[in-house]
Structure 1
């Protein structure tokens, strides 16, 4: 009998994927479900979705004052309490998919709060991470802050997906707040529905298909993006100056308001209301002025804008050469 004739065949190791998830309106959750479906269907990939539950819970739809009273902690990325997680920290995951919304040009508070926990380093140190952002249109500064949070816990950012509202910019300034404060996405003055189009949500399945294939060949262990060529992230660097102006104002006003007490403190409310007026004025002046200036200077800014576009779209990029491979 030949040596090894009785040896048992090696059982392939199941890949494990962690997905910490907080989806306030449900749209981010819908995108994540499209991405996760091919992983779950593969039969040899285990997906663990860990719900993030803020304490107290954030409402949806928001009340106007409650929404703006949340901005100091959100913009300054001050962690808030979460319900106990179902993870110990000694679990081993091959890949982490980290979805988030943008709150005041920063990752949403539940996600920020998770990444500030000591448990986050235990779970994410050395792990490849795919970030997935679903928002109106401004995500550049939020993703830069996310990069810093991931670096702090020793994680490896390997891919980034950004899905945004495709409506006209002026329309989204109306439809997005109305959605947040009423819960209604459609029916506003004949304008397009707020949020990411349903077709884009369904098309997010391509990212799951590509991740499934990458996990099967152990590509997550390398340094090459897994989602390149799939139109993962298209950055608009012309929004950067507006995002930076907004970030500065959030920082200054946020520090002032936090000195007046914790979230919900009565002493904060008059200043929060004053900030709402200031923010509306900022949106009505700085954003259009910035757009006009950049339009006039575009012939001289093109090289710089292209460089910024490439940098912010990294690591996955906006190329589309592989989309046909994963169209379903």
Structure 2
């Protein structure tokens, strides 16, 4: 554990307050968030308020086949569901906001989007330092760009981004992740690696909590420098960006059509959802492998381009490991 460099006198009252906006459908993100929060909650100088986001109409887990597909038009167009009232009034003051989120159809999950468009969001986020935490399959870069746009709209300061991904090969997770969401079982296909973020990565996420604790008690959140640099917070893969852009465009165009056809849950959407599934499977079996092959062939010619993209998407926290020895347990 790191040695603290703290000048404030110890007190039984919190001297730092942290807001955590929590929503997890599968429970995986809750477990990751719990690991990060543990060092903060164990320190009496830090007060942590976890605000759980609850849609008025809950999203099921496991998903039903059509309810899963029916979520993509509103996710892609970032049309939020209605949330149950929050316990916050907007008058509260927080020193740091931690915003964990899942990626739904290459956008922030609908409940998180709903909060970011909630009337209180402007009061709670204005000028505040924010740490985003992403748990997903492997495509998150464009979702984070959307998140950054929303945060910028409130004048929030994004200090850090933590990303934990499924370590399985892309073609394997294309099948295991949907099957997990539809069945509730991570290892339904025994011949493939289990879906989701691996247990070792989840356990190691506590390092971010210890680093945030130290940074808060040293008032580092008041600046603009990342608090989690040197901790392997994010390791982006820019080779996936072409696939992300193609899939995002597909979700947006088909989502627009489906939103014209009917509202969420309406039966008349279902034939078009089936048609989209056929289109998507054909895409996965043909275009995706071909795209990966072409990218692998072009990779030597685009090394500088990929390096520049990686540097961009690794920000602000970065993929460096120079401080790992301070926080590994």
TM-score, with length taken from structure 2: 0.95
- Name the stretch that deviates more: 253-262 or 217-226: 253-262
Given the superposition, is the C-alpha separation of residues 152 and 190 from structure 1 closer, same or farther in structure 2, using an over 3 Å criterion? same
Return the alpha-carbon distance in structure 1 between the equivalents of residues 141 and 290 of structure 2.
19
Per-residue displacement from partner, 1:212-238 (whole Å, max 9, x unpaired)? 000000000001000000000010000
Per-residue displacement from partner, 1:297-327 (whole Å, max 9, x unpaired)? 1111000000000101100011111111101
Match of 1:121 in 2: 122
In the alignment, is residue 35 of structure 1 matched against residue 39 of structure 2?
Answer: no
Per-residue displacement from partner, 1:74-94 (whole Å, max 9, x unpaired)? 011001101110010111000
Return the alpha-carbon distance in structure 2 between the equivalents of residues 310 and 10 of structure 1.
39
Q: In structure 2, list runs of 5 or more residues that go unmatched.
A: 1-8
Return the alpha-carbon distance in structure 2 between the equivalents of residues 34 and 189 of structure 1.
28
| Misfit runs of 4+, over 4 Å | 9-13
The alpha carbon displacement at 1:295 in A equals 1.0
Q: In structure 1, list runs of 5 or more residues that go unmatched.
A: 1-8
Match of 1:315 in 2: 316
Match of 2:6 in 1: none
Alignment of 1:15-26 (within 5 A): 15-26=16-27
Alignment of 1:212-227 (within 5 A): 212-227=213-228
Match of 2:272 in 1: 271
Match of 1:168 in 2: 169
Return the alpha-carbon distance in structure 1 between the equivalents of residues 102 and 14 of structure 2.
33
Residue 96 of structure 2 contacts residue 128 of structure 2 at CA under 8 Å; is this kept in 1? yes
Higher CA-based Rg: 1
Residue 179 of structure 2 contacts residue 188 of structure 2 at CA under 8 Å; is this kept in 1? no
Match of 1:101 in 2: 102
Match of 1:44 in 2: 45
Given the superposition, is the C-alpha separation of residues 174 and 129 from structure 1 closer, same or farther in structure 2, using an over 3 Å criterion? same
Match of 2:307 in 1: 306
Aligned Cα RMSD in Å? 1.3
Per-residue displacement from partner, 1:131-177 (whole Å, max 9, x unpaired)? 00000100011111111111112211110000000112222122111
Q: Secondary structure of the equivalent of 1:129?
A: strand
Residue 242 of structure 1 contacts residue 286 of structure 1 at CA under 8 Å; is this kept in 2? no
The count of residues paired between Structure 1 and Structure 2 equals 320
Return the alpha-carbon distance in structure 2 between the equivalents of residues 289 and 309 of structure 1.
22
Return the alpha-carbon distance in structure 2 between the equivalents of residues 286 and 114 of structure 1.
35
Q: Secondary structure of the equivalent of 2:98?
A: strand
